[in-house]
Structure 1
């Protein structure tokens, strides 16, 4: 069972004592009270298991974006390679950059829709055909994701792509705007609302032309949530969203010193191969014993190893010596200030006691981010997508405190986290809080998760100027030390 709070020992006990061999069996044992009679299963444990079972059912039809991304890439390559395809794109939630998806939408422009419908059901990744028609086919992939393909004409394609990208709220506002021009707007075309209405333009070949016809700047797909993007597009104030190539380095990465799977040198060389100028190391602190967290002596030994490597890598690349320091239950930190002062930077994160009341959890984090040696707050809500909900915390209060203290907030780019959530970044940016897009990489491959972070940052309306790690190597050091400087405390020599 892949349930939060259910380890191998408890699974064995459930199986041997109650014959539990499935999630359904477990739910019955918990609801009947039988599970609570077993050693190690109190009322609280049983309640938590029932909550985990409910969450599992709730998320059964959902998938993280990284689980869907390979399928999107394969299917687009397949569709674009078909001789009868003129254009093909992904649409829907995935195109808008949401963190989870429940299905995938694809659109093709073609003169032979039946040929595309027939081809769509044939690849080896298709598990079953849900429905098939002359212009729409739905299949279920072997990984469980439902995929829908729609075929339209080349002239209809920009309208269909805009419509099926969504969101519903965005589309409603777009249709309302079209009506003010005297046109209807649907997934196929503009049309006059009546005989006296002006004729709509007939030369719409892409979405930017569609938007321009409505007096709007082009609205990037990630922004289309009906949350002010149309007003900004009309006013010409849409942000120029951050791009992957804007990143010059990144922070919050782990090595074999704690629970990572690559050495310092291996992580550094992988970062250089990606074209990065710097990499921030932040192995776990000692309270994260389950992650082989470093004590003071091991951390100082790592600092010396980083200095030696930096002498070798200079001047084109640098490792920044840091730590992911546990925020303890009372808000104190796992390392004393004199050790934190030796670090280039520090990430403070909650890794335990997730069940505090909101006020207590908020105060815990507020105390940590006020420390002048804490450069950034790591994965602020503690969520694991489709597995563990965020702990109760007052995010606006955290944002205010980070703004007041000059603390950077991490956008943890792990596809399991994508935390801080994109919905909060406009508020954070407006308050002047900087973002650091960090992969929380535990391996060389984990550095690739920066791509997921960029998608989330774009969805949060973030620009290059909002993100710390778009700064080049010769400027990022002063940004890392700005909080200490403002507080009048010293950092590493």
Structure 2
């Protein structure tokens, strides 16, 4: 095994110093490793020779214990002490060191006080304003950490859909404004509205390919591209791969070829071959065929209705289209109102009045207020006296505000044994109850599933919040049998949430067809912790569309006069 480089060895020593700090060891012990890291990185001598001759101890700050560890590292490429130490501390805590504003003391604070162990959890805590109240933090520090996380994710090469689409639209606008470019369209994963992306893919129609380079230069990306025939490849400002297909015109063949997943396109080609139909979507393979003016024409040539871009994954949508079972997909305009919204009563940053005012501005006809329950102490969850105060405030606001229905809700914790966070007489005072898991994520699958299924059987529970608990690019969902959960929702007439927060998008779109097949309704909720969060609903609609859901599958497409009765059912 090749000996690790000086930089790699120094990084391991830095990691050990941090791990020791997080474990509460003596600060002198941690500092010894930090100092040793700087010594190793700064030495001009060959470490292999220093170890072989025993002169490693001559380096400043390297005592016998450190010399033995360096010898093991140089000779074997591994260090047993380091490996054992890593097993005692969540790996994500070490990763946080790369985020501006997150030194060892702050990493230790978020771990000990909030139970945060990954960068994604840290980002979500910033969104929910949970860092502001920690000792030594405050709003400015939280904002600095949020910016640091953005840069950290940029270096990783993946972004949430909500982040990537902003960058893609900016690039499209830059291209459209350039002289000589007639048309620009989005294709690839982002056109299919995948929840995370590592690539922005565009198609550009122009007779002057150089105009694309000029547009990119105006966008500040002039030094980041290489040409591969009619394709430009490079990196966006966010660090995403950027692929631009340059063509004389944006034919439907090109749009289809660059939008569908590999599986979808393979299945379309096989269908064309079975019908002895010439199928060529690429210009370099001869004349485009079959003749078409729109993508709908291409599907029609295969005896299929148009399959919307979101569905083109090769996961049964072609068979469903053939059977005439493709739904008229739900749209953002179909959403009449929203649930799962937090205020300053728990961990939101906007007041009840501000949240209602913004919902009105966005055109919603009802809004459900659902602050955290009492077990969520980290989020200032509501005890019974504060519930009464909030209900009185909602009653008063209902008298002052017209044009929107304000519903009394709660996001109640599902306790470890599946019971709810309040007694029945308290739960009965709400218009709706969102039951959510916020603790004990590591329960075995059977226990976690039974916990959630028991909660769904509770007569006062209306819907299940963020059903799998995942945080995209950060935390996998907890181990849970979602097939059982969906069956329990059907049995007890409960609603499953599609949490529209871009970090969650949970229920996963891949589970939506199962819910739909069993008649289980979903509710697309923003999980808003600020007025800005109310604008996340379209991201949840993307999930519903990818899952093949129609208006009738989504409960919050109902009119205000219908919604109260639907929730009580």
What's the TM-score once normalised by structure 2's chain length? 0.75
- Cα deviation, 1:94-131, whole Å, max 9, x if unaligned, reads 11011001111000122222332x22431335385142
Q: Distance in 2 between matches of 1:310 and 1:102?
A: 45
Residue aligning to 2:163: 67
Q: In 2 relative to 1, CA 127–289 (structure 1 residues): closer, same or farther, beyond 3 Å?
A: farther
Q: Shift in Å at residue 83 of structure 1? A: 3.2
Q: Shift in Å at residue 228 of structure 1? A: 1.6
More helix by share: 2
The structure 2 residue matched to 1:431, chosen from 495, 509, 518, is 518
Q: How does 1:261-272 map to 2 (within 5 A)?
A: 261-272=349-360
Is the 2:343–2:351 Cα contact (8 Å) retained in structure 1? Answer: yes
Residue aligning to 2:89: 45
Q: How does 1:407-426 map to 2 (within 5 A)?
A: 407-426=494-513
Structure 2, gaps ≥5 residues long: 1-14, 42-72, 96-116, 121-151
Residue aligning to 1:401: 488
Q: Distance in 2 between matches of 1:250 and 1:366?
A: 24
Residue 172 of structure 1 pairs with residue 266 of structure 2: yes
Residue aligning to 2:50: none
Is the 1:184–1:190 Cα contact (8 Å) retained in structure 2? Answer: no
The structure 1 residue matched to 2:22, chosen from 5, 10, 14, is 10
Q: Distance in 2 between matches of 1:212 and 1:270?
A: 43
Q: Shift in Å at residue 258 of structure 1? A: 0.6
The structure 2 residue matched to 1:33, chosen from 51, 60, 81, is 81
Residue aligning to 1:284: 372
Residue aligning to 2:412: 325
Secondary structure, in 3 states, of the residue corresponding to 1:109?
strand
Count of residues paired in the alignment: 460
Q: Distance in 2 between matches of 1:158 and 1:12?
A: 62
Q: Distance in 1 between matches of 2:231 and 2:389?
A: 61
Residue 76 of structure 1 pairs with residue 76 of structure 2: no
Q: In 2 relative to 1, CA 178–297 (structure 1 residues): closer, same or farther, beyond 3 Å?
A: same
More strand by share: 1
Secondary structure, in 3 states, of the residue corresponding to 1:98?
coil
The structure 2 residue matched to 1:153, chosen from 231, 248, 261, is 248
* Cα RMSD after superposing both structures: 3.2
The structure 2 residue matched to 1:183, chosen from 277, 297, 316, is 277
Q: Distance in 2 between matches of 1:223 and 1:63?
A: 21
Residue 360 of structure 1 pairs with residue 375 of structure 2: no
- Cα deviation, 1:46-100, whole Å, max 9, x if unaligned, reads 577689799999x933211011011111112222233322321111111101100
The structure 2 residue matched to 1:93, chosen from 186, 189, 192, is 189
Q: Distance in 1 between matches of 2:272 and 2:156?
A: 38
- Cα deviation, 1:412-465, whole Å, max 9, x if unaligned, reads 000000001000000001111110000000000000100100111100101011
Q: In 2 relative to 1, CA 140–201 (structure 1 residues): closer, same or farther, beyond 3 Å?
A: closer
Q: In 2 relative to 1, CA 448–7 (structure 1 residues): closer, same or farther, beyond 3 Å?
A: farther
Residue 350 of structure 1 pairs with residue 437 of structure 2: yes
- Cα deviation, 1:6-34, whole Å, max 9, x if unaligned, reads 99973997864642999xx9xx9x97434
Q: In 2 relative to 1, CA 185–18 (structure 1 residues): closer, same or farther, beyond 3 Å?
A: farther
Residue aligning to 1:123: 218
Q: In 2 relative to 1, CA 12–185 (structure 1 residues): closer, same or farther, beyond 3 Å?
A: farther
Residue 144 of structure 1 pairs with residue 144 of structure 2: no
Q: Distance in 1 between matches of 2:352 and 2:163?
A: 28
What's the TM-score once normalised by structure 1's chain length? 0.86
Q: Shift in Å at residue 161 of structure 1? A: 1.0
Q: In 2 relative to 1, CA 317–161 (structure 1 residues): closer, same or farther, beyond 3 Å?
A: same
Secondary structure, in 3 states, of the residue corresponding to 2:432?
coil
Is the 1:321–1:343 Cα contact (8 Å) retained in structure 2? Answer: yes
Q: Distance in 2 between matches of 1:328 and 1:313?
A: 36
Q: In 2 relative to 1, CA 169–472 (structure 1 residues): closer, same or farther, beyond 3 Å?
A: same
Q: Distance in 1 between matches of 2:20 and 2:192?
A: 39
Q: Shift in Å at residue 282 of structure 1? A: 0.6
Comparing 73-82 with 221-230, greater Cα deviation is found at: 73-82
Is the 1:326–1:349 Cα contact (8 Å) retained in structure 2? Answer: yes
Residue 259 of structure 1 pairs with residue 347 of structure 2: yes
Q: In 2 relative to 1, CA 46–218 (structure 1 residues): closer, same or farther, beyond 3 Å?
A: closer
Structure 1, gaps ≥5 residues long: 194-198, 483-493
Q: Distance in 2 between matches of 1:224 and 1:33?
A: 49
Which of structures 1 and 2 has the larger relative contact order (alpha carbons within 8 angstroms, sep 6+)? 1
Is the 1:127–1:141 Cα contact (8 Å) retained in structure 2? Answer: no
Q: In 2 relative to 1, CA 137–201 (structure 1 residues): closer, same or farther, beyond 3 Å?
A: closer
Is the 2:174–2:219 Cα contact (8 Å) retained in structure 1? Answer: no
